[in-house]
Structures are given as C-alpha cells and as structure tokens.
Amino acid sequence: MLEVLTFPDSRLRVKAEKVTVFDGELARLAEAMMRAMYDNSGMGLAAPQVGEAIQMVVTDFNAPDHNPATRCPKAWVNPEIRERTGEMTTEEGCLSLPGFRALVARAESVTVVYQTLEGESRQENLTGLDAVCLQHEIDHLSGKLFIDHLPPVRREMIKKKLTRQARSA
Ligand code: NI
C-alpha cells in the first residue's frame, strides 16, 4: 500500500524525471497509484505524491461518484499541456494538503500530449473539471501545489496551518 506524502514533505517539490522505460514495473506503480487514489477518495494522483520522482499521473474523472461500476482509471505518462484556452475557477483540494480547499483559476480547455503505459504517443482534448484535474496533477510533476496559485497571504496561512498539523501528528 503506497503512502501519500503530505506537505511540507520536500519530495512534493522535486522536478520529476521523464519516463523512458515502459515496463512491468511502471505498470505496477500505476496500478498501486490507482489503488491509493481510490482508497483516499481522490480523482487524481501524481507519482511524486508517493515519493516516485517520475512524470506519471493517474486520474479517474468519474471518481467523484465513488461508484466502482463506473470507474474509469487512466495513466498519463510524460504528460504535457500543448494548448490552453478559456478560464475556469473551481474549488480544489489535494491528497497532499489534507483538509484544505481553495478556489483556483485554470484553463477551461487543454490539449495534452502524453504516452500510454506501453509508450504509445497520444493526444487528447479535455474541458471543464477533467481539464482542471489534469492540470492540477501535471503541476505536481514540476513540484507545484495548488496553493502556489493562491494569493500570497492565503497561501502562507495554509502553509502555516499545514506545518503545525504535520508537527503535531
Ligand atoms: Ni494534488
């Protein structure tokens, strides 16, 4: 069972390496990440959040339903946003920042290029909450957290609370 790292763990701030080997180990990691995502009722999880500094995220855009019958897990390897259009503000949370939610403005639509677990190149257009979720996860690959999008005062307040929480845990 993978442990999801929480702020202020420094491993959440690393720049993840590109994946170059598409083998069983990568597929097993993706599977373990999906299990951790479901166990924690998340909609997405990035490899650095489980201490693996590689460019891979997993998502399930149906996950808010928490219905195992409609699960739609997907792994995105070396994902990169090529185009952003529009703007959309939604309330975000993150498994690495437990207990905090905040409004974040992001692109409403994105075009993303990525590779499958087998190394095949793909391109997809996403809009709305799906696009927001993937942008949030891709941020993790460069060590960025959703609080980094907030005004400095609010960001510092959340950081202080989280650091205090971590110390008393
Ligand atoms: Ni997150």
Q: Where are the domains of the chain?
A: 10-168
The CATH architecture one would assign to domain 10-168 is Alpha-Beta Complex (3.90)
Structure tokens, 17: 């390496």
pLDDT of residue 132: 97
- For the chain, give the secondary structure using H, E and C: CCCCCCCCCHHHHCCCECCCCCCHHHHHHHHHHHHHHHHCCCCEEEHHHHCCCECEEEECCCHHHCCHHHCCCEEEEEEEEEEEECCEEEEEECCCCCCCEEEEEECCEEEEEEECCCCCEEEEEEEHHHHHHHHHHHHHCCCCCHHHHCCHHHHHHHHHHHHHHHHHC
For the segment 116-140, the average pLDDT, to the nearest whole number, is 98
Q: Which of 25, 124, 137, 156 is catalytic?
A: 137
2 Cα: distance to centroid of ligand 1 (angstroms) = 15
pLDDT at residue 148 is higher than 80: yes
What's the CA-to-centroid distance between 133 and ligand 1, angstroms? Answer: 9
165 has pLDDT over 90: no
Distance 137 CA to ligand 1 centre (A): 6
- Per-residue pLDDT averaged across 67-90, rounded? 95
pLDDT band with cut points at 50, 70 and 90 for residue 169 = confident
pLDDT at 2: 93
Give the span between the Cα atoms of 26 and 19, in whole angstroms: 9
pTM, full prediction: 0.95
Question: What distance in angstroms lies between residue 122's CA and the mean position of ligand 1's atoms?
Answer: 23
pLDDT tens digits, 47-57: 999 999 999 99
The pLDDT, as a whole number, for residue 69 is 86
Residue 128 has pLDDT above 90, yes or no: yes
CA of 41 relative to ligand 1 center, distance in Å: 12
* Single-letter code of the amino acid located at 134: L
Of 160, 151, 77, the residue nearest 113 (C-alpha): 77
- 60 forms beta bridges with none
Distance 94 CA to ligand 1 centre (A): 4
Task: Give me the residues near ligand 1 (ion), CB cutoff below 5 Å.
Answer: 94
Q: Give the pLDDT confidence score for residue 134 in this predicted structure.
A: 98
Interval between CA 42 and ligand 1 midpoint (Å):
9
Average pLDDT, the chain: 95
As a residue count, the chain comes to 169
- 137 catalytic, yes or no? yes
Q: Are 51 and 11 in contact (CB under 8 A)?
A: yes
